[in-house]
């Protein structure tokens, strides 16, 4: 694929993503057809008449129940995938994921504290987001504790920070009420889109989309960084500012995603590697294409989570079950694709 030739695959993936969103809106315990969705859209736009009872039923199913989780799946999948791609580019390692700097441990601890002291969704999401950022800040602080941070010390700092917050999470789980609070904490940690409402989406859409656009615009700079710090500096790239700027942007959108949906693994690790095999290593192409593939992957996982059995499966379990075999399939070719 020639440099800059990403318009065609972006358009194709965009069309497939829209089709998947329409299919996801039709899927559920009360099945709808695409014609039902088309009737509702036309009635909402005033293009046709629809019986009030029928319109109210379709509005409740499509807008109130299914649309928030469909939008959330696409938004969160895109955010996790593009942040994973950005982290892999920054650390020049295809096995890096958004949780490398302690985001998941911090968010899990914050959400557990929120469920322990309140249980209100605002408290849970704010604490999850705040603790995720605190965990990353602590990891960066540890990396720079004894001098300027390097790639290795950043990773080690993130591992230490993540381990600390995971231990704190274990303490919270140990002290939680085993009949009420502990099940809620465990369920949140599995990841779920079941309780997401439109008010949650409205809070996070703008910052997540801003982060996705910002990371996409950094594609060529990250391509320069992939050649090494010295080569990037000769091209006029402010290496340290770009590195920490990308880390902050990727951390913000992954932390926001985790704060509203819990811990959803493998998206930020598996999707970027799969996209790299399909579209090549150029970050200018890879970042937007990874976002679209991540949105599509999480939409499919959500359809399976609520369609395989009568009881909904936490989506974090589904992404792990799908991600592990998929990653094994691409693992043998990852090094060749990365090089």
pLDDT at 74 over 80: yes
* Helix%, strand%, coil% for the chain, nearest 5: 80, 0, 20
8-38 per-position pLDDT tens digit: 889 999 999 999 999 999 988 888 998 999 9
Question: Could you tell me the pTM of the whole model?
Answer: 0.92
Sign (positive/negative) of CA torsion 327, 271, 281, 215?
negative
Q: How far apart are CA 236 and CA 221, in angstroms?
A: 10
Structure tokens at 207: 């910052």
CB 185, CB 111: distance < 8 Å? yes
Q: Does residue 2 have a pLDDT over 90?
A: no
Do 193 and 204 form a contact (C-beta atoms < 8 A)?
no
Q: Of the ranges 134-143, 266-275, 308-317, which one carries the lowest mean pLDDT score?
A: 308-317
DSSP code per residue over 228-288: -HHHHHHTT--HHHHHHHHHHHHHHHHHHHHHHH----SHHHHHHHHHHHHH-S-HHHHHH
**Among the ranges 68-77, 234-243, 315-324, which has the highest mean pLDDT value?**
68-77
State residue 334's pLDDT score: 55
pLDDT of residue 293: 96
pLDDT band at 3 (very low <50, low <70, confident <90, very high): very low
- Structure confidence by residue, pLDDT tens digits, 92-129: 888 888 888 899 999 999 999 999 998 788 899 999 99
Q: Report whether pLDDT(332) > 70.
A: no
């Amino acid at each position: 694929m020639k440099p800059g030739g990403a318009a065609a695959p972006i358009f194709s993936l965009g069309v497939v993503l829209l089709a998947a969103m329409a299919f996801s809106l039709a899927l559920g315990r009360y099945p709808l057809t695409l014609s039902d969705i088309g009737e509702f859209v036309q009635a909402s736009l005033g293009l046709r008449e629809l019986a009030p009872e029928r319109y109210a039923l379709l509005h409740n199913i499509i807008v109130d129940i299914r649309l928030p989780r469909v939008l959330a799946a696409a938004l969160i999948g895109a955010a996790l995938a593009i942040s994973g791609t950005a982290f892999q580019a920054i650390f020049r390692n295809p096995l890096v994921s958004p949780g490398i700097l302690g985001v998941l441990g911090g968010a899990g601890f914050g959400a557990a504290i929120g469920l322990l002291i309140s249980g209100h969704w605002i408290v849970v999401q704010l604490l999850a987001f705040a603790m995720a950022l605190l965990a990353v800040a602590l990891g960066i602080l540890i990396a720079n504790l004894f001098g300027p941070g390097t790639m290795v010390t950043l990773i080690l700092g993130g591992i230490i920070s993540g381990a600390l917050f995971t231990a704190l999470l274990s303490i919270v789980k140990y002290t939680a009420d085993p009949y009420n609070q502990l099940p809620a904490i465990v369920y949140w940690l599995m990841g779920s889109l079941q309780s997401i409402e439109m008010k949650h989406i409205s809070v996070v859409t703008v910052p997540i989309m801003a982060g996705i656009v910002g990371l996409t615009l950094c594609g060529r700079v990250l391509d320069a960084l992939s050649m090494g710090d010295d080569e990037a500096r000769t091209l006029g790239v402010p290496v340290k500012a770009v590195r920490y700027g990308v880390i902050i942007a990727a951390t913000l959108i992954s932390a926001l995603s985790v704060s509203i949906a819990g811990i959803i693994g493998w998206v930020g690790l598996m999707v970027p590697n799969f996209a790299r095999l399909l579209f090549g290593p150029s970050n200018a192409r890879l970042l937007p294409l990874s976002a679209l593939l991540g949105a599509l992957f999480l939409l499919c996982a959500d359809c399976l989570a609520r369609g395989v059995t009568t009881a909904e499966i936490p989506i974090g379990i589904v992404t792990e079950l799908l991600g592990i075999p998929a990653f094994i399939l691409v693992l043998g070719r990852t090094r060749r694709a990365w090089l």
